[in-house]
Amino acid sequence: MNFEINTIIALISRIQNKANQFIISELKRHGISGLVPVHGDILVALFFHKRVTMQELATLVDRKKSTITTLVEKLIQLGYVQKQKDDNDNRYFIISLTDKGKSLKLPLMEISMDLINGIYQEMPIVERVQLVKKLSKINNNLKKLV
């Protein structure tokens, strides 16, 4: 087997590490502290979905509910999100952005666009689409294994 082909997980890990380093440095540059890159997934989901349950949020960001609970608690401590009992069903909590959380939309979207533009430098749209389709397939295959 070809060694380079079999290093896919290591390559993805290196890409993730570099992307996270970029995000952390950009958050610092924008004066945003206390956040880590995975918080961005939650915040972006809330920018577009406004009010969601913990389970819906876990599905949106493709993480376990227990992981989301810990991350959301940190965002609550930082004042970016709030958690309220669902008016229709007391068994559920609704997660939504605070005004402070909403104020992160512009800088986080700017950081995301800068990262995306950097990643896709000189890569035609056709290749971008193919890459995302193939990585999505790998992600779905891994879901079957865990």
What pLDDT shows up at residue 8?
Answer: 86
Domain boundaries, the chain: 1-31+104-146, 33-101
Q: What is the pLDDT of residue 3?
A: 63
Report which residue type is found at 36: V
Strand 51-53 to strand 81-85: parallel, antiparallel, or no bridges (unpaired)? unpaired
> pLDDT by residue for the chain (146 residues), tens digit each?
566 667 888 889 999 999 999 999 999 999 999 999 999 999 999 999 989 999 999 999 999 989 999 999 999 999 999 999 878 878 888 999 999 999 999 999 999 999 999 999 999 999 999 999 999 999 889 888 87
Q: What is the pLDDT of residue 124?
A: 96
CATH architecture of 33-101: Orthogonal Bundle (1.10)
**Residue whose entry in the numeric block shows the structure tokens 């999505």:** 136
The helix-helix angle for 105-119 and 37-49 (nearest 10°) equals 120
Q: What is the largest CA-CA distance in the chain?
A: 57
Q: What does the block give as tokens for 124?
A: 């035609």
